[in-house]
Structure formats: C-alpha cells, structure tokens
Amino acid sequence: MMRRLNQFLPLLCAIALAVLGPLLGPYVSDLIVKVMILSIFALSLELLVGMTGLVSLGHAAFYGIGAYATVLGSGRDGGSVAWLLPLAMGCAAAYALVVGALSLRTRGVYFIMVTLAFAQMAFFVFHDTAVGGGSDGIYMYIRPALGALDMENRSVQFYAVLGALVATYGLLALIRRSRFGAALAGIRVNEQRMRAAGFPVYGYKLGAFVLAGALAGLAGFLLASRDGVVNPELLAWHNSGEVLLMIILGGLGHLRGAVIGAVAFTLLKELLSTQGLVGPLADHWQLTLGLAIIAFVALLPKGIIGIAGQLRARA
Amino acid sequence: MTTLLSVDAVTRRFGGLVAVNNVSIDLRLGEVHAVIGTNGAGKSTLINMLSGEIGASSGRITLDGQDITRRAQHRRARAGIGRSYQRTTIFPEFTVLENCRLAAQAATPRPWAIWQASHDCAASNAAAHGALAAAGLDDVAQRIAGTLSHGAKRQLEVAMCLATDPRVLLLDEPLAGMGAEETERMLALLASLKATHAILLVEHDMDAVFRIADRITVMVNGAVIATGDPASIRVNPDVRTAYLGEEH
C-alpha cells in the first residue's frame, strides 16, 4: 500500500497543484510557476548527469537559447505557441547537437570544461553582439498564444507550465524504464562493457545530450513566456552551476530528486534573501546560500531524497 | 576446421615501442587457442586490437573472410566478437540477470521504443537466462553483481559475452585470482563452449593452458616465437629458453 502510494506521489503532487492553483495568491502562484520551470530545467540536466553520468557545466546555454529563440521568433504582434515552442526546442537541440558532437569525444573533467566553453561562447554571442539587444537583453511585445492557450493569462500560464512539467517528468520516467534508459544507465556504470557488448555508445550519449538540450529549451520557452524578457545572464555559467547544484542537492539518480532540488534551492534562496527572516544578512544571501549548500552536501551525501534511507540506516 | 577470425601480420606501435610485432594467428571453430607469454609480451594489446578497442598500425584482421581491421568496436561485437577483460568489467550495481540482459539488448536495442520496459524484452531475457544457465549462475540471477565472489564475477563476465551470442570469444586471463574449484568450473565452461565458438585464451596458469588448449602461441616482446599444439610447444627449445624455462 505504502509502496503504491509512493509510486504515485509525483502524480498526486501534480493533481494537488492543479486543484490548488486557482486558490493561490499571485506571489505564491508566481513562485510555483518559477519553481516548475526550474524543475523542467533540472530534470533535463538529470537526464545527462544522473541517468547517463555526463557532468555538463554548460547546460544553461540550451535554456537561454530556448528563451532567446522564443523572444526573437515572436514579432510585434506576438507569435503562436504552435511554432515558437518547436522553434525554441529545435534551436536548443541544434546547438546541443553541435556541442555534444564535439564535447562527447572527451570525458571527465575535459567534458566539463568543453561544455562550459561552448556555453560561454553562446553567452558572449548574446552579450557582446546586437543579436539579442546586447547585455541588456530584449523584451517580448506580446506573449505566445494558441487559441485558449494564451500565455498572457496568468492562470493559463500556470496550467501550461504544470502540463509541461508533467509531460517532461512522464517522458523521462518512461525513458528510465525503457531499453534506451537501461543503455544509458549501463554507459554511466561501465562504458567499456557497453562498447564490448556492441552498443554504439557515442550515439547513445549524443541522443541523450540532444534530448536534454531540447528539454532545457522547453524550460527556456516557458521562462521567456512567463517573464516576457530575456537577457544574457540566462546563459551564464553560474546558471549552469546552479542547476547542477539543484540536482545534487535533491539527490542524483532520481527524477524526484531533480524536482525536490529545484524546490529546495529556490526556497533557500528566497528565504535567505528575505530581510524579515534573516535581517541584514539578507544582503549577503549568496554567502549564506553557499554555506547552507556546503552544510547540505556534507550532511546529506545522497541529497534530500536520501534522507529517508539515512534515517533508516541509523535506526 | 573453419577459420572464423584470421589475423594477418598485425603490428601495433605506441610511439617508438612496438607492442605487437607482425603477429599472425587463426582462430578456428571448435578450438581453444591459447596465447602465452611474460608480462608485457603484447597479449592484451593483441586482444584489444582484435576487439577493436585500439586500431592496428598495420596488418589485416578478417572475420568470416570480411576485412574488419578498421571497424569500430561495437560493430565487431555485433558481428560476433565477444571479449572479457583482465580487470573484471561488469555492472556491479545491477543484478546478475540485469547485467546479462543489458548485454543481450545490444542485439535488439530499439532505443526509440521508450514505451516498452527494458525488463519486458522477451528476446534479451531469453538470451540472458540462457547465458546464465550456461555459466552456472542461474541460482544467483537476482543477486547484485557487486556482491558476488571474485570467481563468480569472472564467470558473469563470460556469461555477459555469451548473452550477446558471439562466435569468437577473446578471454583475457579469465582464471586470474581464482581458487582451484572456481578454476575447474571455468575450464569446464570453456570446454563446453568450444564446439560452438572459436576461443582465444590469454592465461598465465600454465597447467590450465596445457590442459585445455588445442593450439598455443608463444609471444615474447610483441612477437610470436612459436605456434603449435601443446605437445610440440612443451618441447620447443626456443620456448623453453625464452619462457617456460623460467618456471619449470
């Protein structure tokens, strides 16, 4: 019974959010939308880091490219979700194909460095050229829409983002139990054995990398549709670092870990920068956030999702 | 007897070092072909070249008459070359059955079919169970592979090769670190596989080699100094001075 309940927990959470949605105030609702978008972003990185064992430090590039594609693709009269969404995911996937094709020839710390370098390259293209309004970024005139699916409408936005999160989570859950997911897990554990068994390991990794890029592009599309503005900071390396921290904080190797990590990270950031809670320390939230994360990682080596197991082991 | 894998004058250089020098051997169906030699003689490098882990600097490797010298490792594996490693190479965190099933799925990968669960794949389950039965591991099928004894892990690695349905087996010191009982079990397994496979065996256990091998190739400093049946190798004067003399 408990196991069944545990299995359906993510779905129950989604239903609870859908039911509670209209009852939430604008601040909480907005915060939840932000966390859900970050959860999609974190899930897309979990596909690489947790499922395939590829530690990328340039994942924000695909997020940012998805967001920029959405804004640049919608004209003065706004654009349709029907083609802005494929555009955002397609652009992110295309860049992921280029970055992956080159970076996947390296491994370990070199892979980290090469993905970082490609992300910085994309960052400087938007930062230092007029393509996307330079360092100030660029505004969207009208948010994307498709019939009733109008992102200008706050509650439509809420349900659209929730739907995208459920779809992403569901897709990755299916992949995890499929032969593709089993092969990715095999690559994570022992790449040499996978090659000796006859798997085209490079192709599998590239497939995972492109899919992860496309999903990050989806998160970017949603972010641009929510904020109505993009700037180069989206692609910056600290954004790549933050999403990596989220999945580590939540617990690598679990889809829910990525979501929990996104929630925990955003809440921590929000709490530690609230004057009313931490007083003058709020101005130095980066310092306190850093210390909090060091404490978390030291005390919870398996992330927040590993707490239950840790307690059970102690009992 | 049919020659499955034919190696014609392959050489591998690492910078100035010639690790494998102009080596030619044939692996035939129904034969265990042992390659012996001191450490650094080039035995593992030879296996790495045959399995496609590293390229050959020169020479030709053919499988069923087809040139595979430039073929990538995974394509050679799919064409029927299975290998084990000197250092046990398995998936320690998966169960024994999952180890074999994953190996077997190389034959039916279908990565796009994400709606199908990996553990429901009938073909790879059948191949995995068959391989485990052949290797005598069916009673530990549900154990986590990392918790097996050293000998059982070596057996699992051979079972994972078998799950991919190879015709050629390249085994790099499968008996290393095994106790007497485990050695006997592995030798019995190899003997049972002989009829349907061409086996290349790199091994330091001379008693085992002379018991099971149909043909022995002796390597010294990357080059072959003798090839023949066990009896002729035993009395070969070059082999005695170069290699066996040190031990016997």
Give the model confidence (pLDDT) of B101-111 as tens digits.
999 999 988 88
In a domain? residue A264: no
Please, what's the b/e burial string for B146-170 (b: 16 or more CB within 10 A of its CB; e: otherwise)? eebeebbbbbbbbbbbbbbbbbbbb
Chain A / chain B CB contacts < 8 angstroms: 91
Contact state of B90 with A190 under an 8 Å Cβ cutoff? yes
In a domain? residue A122: yes
SS (H, E, C) B91-120: CCCCEHHHHHHHHHCCCCCCCCCCCCEHHH
What is chain A's length? 315
**Mean pLDDT, chain B, as a whole number?**
92
In a domain? residue A72: yes
A198 CB neighbours in chain B (<8 A) are 74-75, 77-78, 106-107, 164
Nearest to residue B169, comparing CAs of B3, B1, B5? B5
Instruction: Please state whether beta strands B3-14 and B58-63 pair in parallel, antiparallel, or not at all (unpaired).
Output: antiparallel
User: What pLDDT is stored for residue B248 in this prediction?
Assistant: 45
A179 CB neighbours in chain B (<8 A) are 105, 108-111, 113, 116, 118, 121
B39-83 pLDDT, tens per residue?
888 999 999 999 999 999 999 999 999 999 999 999 999 999 999
Calculate helix-pair angle for A201-227, A81-103, nearest 10 degrees. 140
Angle at A192 between CA A186 and CA A195, to 5 degrees: 80
Q: Which of the given ranges, A167-171, B229-233, B240-244, has the highest pLDDT on average?
A: A167-171
Measured CA to CA, the distance from residue B30 to residue B214 in angstroms comes to: 9
| Cβ pair A240, A60 in contact under 8 A | yes
A200 CB neighbours in chain B (<8 A) are 72, 74
In this prediction, the answer to ipTM > 0.90 reads yes
Q: Going residue by residue through chain A (315 aa), what tens digit of pLDDT does each one get?
A: 667 778 888 888 999 998 888 888 888 999 999 999 999 999 999 999 999 999 999 999 999 999 999 999 987 788 888 899 999 999 999 999 999 999 999 988 999 999 999 999 999 999 888 887 888 888 888 888 888 888 888 889 999 999 999 999 999 999 999 999 999 999 999 999 999 999 999 999 999 999 999 999 999 999 999 999 999 999 999 999 999 999 999 999 999 999 999 999 999 998 888 888 888 888 888 888 889 888 988 888 888 988 888 888 877
In a domain? residue A281: no
Q: Which domain holds residue A148?
A: 30-236
Q: Residues near A28 by Cβ (< 8 Å), separated by ≥ 6?
A: none
Q: Which residue of chain A comes nearest to B116, CA vs CA?
A: A178
Q: What is the pTM of this model?
A: 0.93
B73 interface with A at CB cutoff 8 Å: yes
User: What pLDDT is stored for residue A184 in this prediction?
Assistant: 97
Characterise A106 by phi-psi region: left (phi > 0), alpha (psi -120 to 50), beta (else). Answer: beta
Measured CA to CA, the distance from residue A64 to residue A143 in angstroms comes to: 17
Contact state of B106 with A199 under an 8 Å Cβ cutoff? yes
Nearest to residue B37, comparing CAs of B49, B19, B55? B19
User: What pLDDT is stored for residue A211 in this prediction?
Assistant: 98
Measured CA to CA, the distance from residue A191 to residue A180 in angstroms comes to: 14
Put simply, the chain B residues between 74 and 113 with a CB less than 8 A from any chain A CB are 74-75, 77-78, 82-83, 85, 89-94, 98, 101-103, 105-113
Q: Classify residue A78 as exposed, middle or buried by CB count within 10 Å of its CB (0-12, 13-18, 19+).
A: middle
Tally of domains in chain A: 1
Nearest to residue A26, comparing CAs of A160, A157, A167? A157
β-pair partners for B135: none
β-pair partners for B215: B33
Nearest to residue B54, comparing CAs of B46, B66, B43, B62? B46
Structure tokens belonging to residue A167: 């779809």
CA A157 vs CA A37, A214, A231, B146: distances in Å = 11, 20, 21, 48
What is chain B's alpha carbon radius of gyration, rounded to the nearest angstrom? 18
CA A14 vs CA A152, A154, A257, B136: distances in Å = 22, 18, 15, 47
In a domain? residue A24: no
B74 CB neighbours in chain A (<8 A) are 195, 198-201
What is chain B's length? 248
Structure tokens belonging to residue B191: 């003997």
- In one-letter notation, the amino acid at residue B175 is L
In a domain? residue A9: no
Sign (positive or negative) of CA dihedral B37, B200, B131, B188: negative
Measured CA to CA, the distance from residue B165 to residue B193 in angstroms comes to: 11
Q: What's phi and psi for B63, nearest 5 deg?
A: -120, 120
Measured CA to CA, the distance from residue B129 to residue B149 in angstroms comes to: 20
* CA A122 remoteness from chain centre: 18
Q: Classify residue A23 as exposed, middle or buried by CB count within 10 Å of its CB (0-12, 13-18, 19+).
A: exposed
Q: What's phi and psi for A178, nearest 5 deg?
A: -85, 175
Structure tokens belonging to residue A271: 């709490």
Measured CA to CA, the distance from residue A10 to residue A37 in angstroms comes to: 16
Scan for tokens 């990755």, then name that residue.
A172
Please, what are the domains in chain B?
Answer: 1-80+166-248 (3.40.50.300), 89-165 (no CATH)
A311 interface with B at CB cutoff 8 Å: no
Q: How far is B200 from chain A (nearest CA, A)?
A: 16
B89 CB neighbours in chain A (<8 A) are 190, 192-193, 196
Please, what's the b/e burial string for A80-119 (b: 16 or more CB within 10 A of its CB; e: otherwise)? ebeebbbbbbebbbbbbbebbeebbeeeeeebbebbbebb
Share of chain B above pLDDT 90, in %: 78
In a domain? residue A298: no
- Report the helix count and the strand count for chain A, using DSSP H and E: 14, 4
User: What pLDDT is stored for residue A152 in this prediction?
Assistant: 83
User: What pLDDT is stored for residue B246 in this prediction?
Assistant: 54
In a domain? residue A38: yes
Measured CA to CA, the distance from residue A193 to residue A203 in angstroms comes to: 15
A50 interface with B at CB cutoff 8 Å: no
Q: Which residue of chain A comes nearest to B79, CA vs CA?
A: A198
A178 interface with B at CB cutoff 8 Å: yes
Nearest to residue A82, comparing CAs of A36, A170, A147? A147
H helices within chain B, ranges in order?
A: 43-51, 73-79, 96-104, 122-134, 150-163, 180-193, 206-212, 230-235, 237-239, 245-247
